[in-house]
């Protein structure tokens, strides 16, 4: 072999780890040139080398004062940095003093730190596992701090609601003194306690006490008074409340060309009756019996079965034998909901047994304890949205929408975005609430008028 051929086929000493042992020995792979000083040769590093080259300090959460600079696993250059302010408080317990935006940014940094470590290689060393654990604890601390801040704000809102309810309760306390005494069990409940409680458990006031109602109708043979409006004009023409020094609570028209006048005292009713002209016939409307509802009765029992349970399981047998309960409690109607096994049983009750049942509060009917309440029944017309009559007897020419309060269409065809009470809008009152809602002033007025027609005394 010539000298030129020997130089061509002989391995360089700088590339050979050991001298060749024969013609069959494989040539060693050439080593890459060393990287320049100050530059990471990330592409030539092994997976283990890439992990050890991260040099991320392990600290409590993100509290290290040294900046954390993750390295791209392929190019070996810094990627999305995770800035940490120098001099920051240490440990996840310092989150209580931080604001909401700071906490969110802290959690964001922790998530990005976890992703930078977890995607660096297929295997993690112990320091990287510890770092991920610390970052996870920091995220949990942020979530806990946000939860505490939310609880504090909810507590403030609840205190404000409680203060508002207390203020409303204090404002109606004088007018509800009698009702409070009845509700505490010191005496029989009066008709003032029949009204349902308003929002926040505040009882509703019914205003001043009222006297008897008087109904005025055209006398026999009087053909001039044909409508209720004619009778109303005749009453106002013949009677002057100012000269008689009496108070009139309300005047409303009824059927058969009649007018019902609500007085404020028995003395005012006597003066009003004596001042009626011969063209009018005066009667005192008969008061309704109280309606008592037994709510949540299991199944669909008969009225007799519920009466027997009330007598045997709840009332004193000496004071309320079964024969007396049957005489003073008669079935009115039942109410139930679809896909429900419970029924509300409503009775016509005498004032005495009504007081006895309402004072008990919860009665036993078979295996179930049921709540006993007064049943206040008011009817709102689906056509004109006024109280006092059903749609069957409505005299309105066109329908009124129960959602927006406009005339000319029904609620099913309404396209309004917000609700407006049609009843309150007609009387130019505050109407930014649904028609016939529980807090509607018109509905409350209708309930009070219904209660004035019920005989709760004895």
State how many domains the chain has. Answer: 4
Is 189 part of any domain?
no
Rounded CA gap, 256 and 126, in Å? 95
| 88 lies in the same domain as 107 | yes
Q: What does the pLDDT read at residue 87?
A: 40
Q: HSE of 274 in the Cβ direction (CA atoms, 13 Å)?
A: 9
| 269 lies in the same domain as 304 | no
Written as six digits, the tokens of 23 are 């013609």
Q: What does the pLDDT read at residue 4?
A: 59
Q: What does the pLDDT read at residue 39?
A: 43
> What φ, ψ does residue 48 adopt, rounded to 5°?
-65, -40
| CB within 8 Å of 8: residues ≥ 6 apart | none
CATH number, domain containing residue 265: 3.30.70
Rounded CA gap, 147 and 144, in Å? 5
- The string of DSSP codes covering 90-105 is PSGGGGGGS-HHHHHH
Hey, how many other C-beta atoms are within 10 angstroms of the C-beta on 355? Answer: 20
Is 14 part of any domain?
no
Helices (H), 280-431: 303-313, 322-328, 351-360, 422-426
| 345 lies in the same domain as 425 | no
Q: What does the pLDDT read at residue 73?
A: 42
Helices (H), 126-222: 126-172, 177-183
Alpha carbon distances (Å) from 9 to 18, 21, 29, 30: 16, 14, 15, 15
Is residue 68 packed enough to be buried (19+ CB in 10 Å), middle (13-18) or exposed (0-12)?
Answer: buried
Query: What range does the domain containing 368 cover?
Result: 291-374
| 302 lies in the same domain as 254 | no
State which H helix or E strand residue 7 sits in: helix 3-9
Chunked into runs of 10 residues, the chain (458 residues) has average pLDDT values of 56 47 49 48 40 39 42 41 42 62 78 74 75 80 80 82 71 45 42 43 45 88 88 92 89 87 89 91 86 92 94 92 93 86 92 91 92 90 90 90 90 88 89 89 87 75
What is the dihedral sign for C-alpha 368, 371, 377, 383? negative
| 411 lies in the same domain as 352 | no
Q: What does the pLDDT read at residue 40?
A: 43
């Amino acid at each position: 072999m010539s000298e030129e051929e020997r130089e061509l086929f002989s391995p360089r000493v700088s590339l050979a780890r050991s001298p060749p042992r024969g013609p069959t020995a494989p040539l060693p792979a050439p080593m890459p040139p060393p990287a320049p000083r100050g530059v990471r040769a990330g592409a030539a590093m092994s997976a283990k080398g890439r992990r050890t080259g991260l040099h991320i300090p392990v600290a409590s959460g993100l509290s290290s004062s040294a900046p954390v600079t993750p390295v791209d696993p392929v190019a070996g250059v810094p990627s999305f940095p995770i800035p940490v302010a120098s001099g920051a408080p240490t440990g996840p317990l310092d989150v209580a003093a931080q604001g909401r935006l700071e906490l969110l940014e802290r959690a964001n940094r922790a998530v990005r730190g976890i992703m930078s470590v977890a995607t660096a290689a297929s295997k993690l060393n112990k320091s990287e596992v510890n770092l991920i654990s610390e970052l996870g604890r920091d995220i949990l601390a942020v979530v806990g701090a946000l939860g505490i801040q939310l609880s504090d704000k909810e507590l403030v809102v609840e205190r404000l609601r409680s203060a508002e309810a207390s203020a409303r309760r204090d404002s109606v306390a004088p007018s509800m003194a009698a009702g409070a005494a009845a509700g505490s069990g010191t005496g029989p409940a009066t008709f003032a306690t029949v009204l349902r409680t308003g929002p926040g458990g505040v009882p509703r006031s019914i205003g001043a006490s009222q006297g008897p109602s008087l109904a005025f109708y055209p006398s026999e043979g009087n053909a001039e008074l044909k409508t209720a409006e004619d009778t109303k004009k005749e009453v106002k023409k013949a009677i002057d409340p100012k000269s008689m020094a009496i108070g009139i609570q309300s005047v409303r028209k009824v059927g058969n060309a009649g007018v019902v006048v609500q007085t404020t005292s028995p003395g005012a009713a006597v003066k009003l009756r004596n001042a009626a002209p011969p063209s009018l016939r005066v009667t005192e409307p008969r008061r309704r019996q109280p309606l008592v509802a037994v709510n949540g009765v299991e199944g669909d029992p008969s009225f007799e079965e519920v009466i027997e349970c009330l007598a045997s399981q709840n009332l004193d047998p000496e004071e309320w034998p079964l024969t007396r309960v049957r005489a003073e409690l008669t079935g009115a109607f039942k109410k139930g909901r679809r896909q429900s096994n419970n029924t509300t049983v409503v009775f016509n009750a005498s004032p005495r047994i009504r007081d006895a049942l309402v004072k008990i509060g919860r009665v036993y009917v078979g295996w179930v304890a049921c709540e006993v309440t007064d049943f206040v029944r008011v009817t709102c017309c689906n056509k004109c949205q006024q109280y006092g009559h059903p749609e069957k007897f409505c005299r309105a020419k066109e329908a009124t929408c129960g959602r927006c309060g406009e005339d000319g269409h029904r609620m099913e065809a309404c396209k309004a975005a917000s609700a407006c009470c049609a009843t309150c809008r007609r009387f130019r009152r505050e109407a930014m609430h649904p028609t016939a809602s529980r807090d509607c002033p018109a509905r409350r007025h209708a309930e009070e008028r219904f209660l004035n027609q019920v005989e709760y005394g004895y």
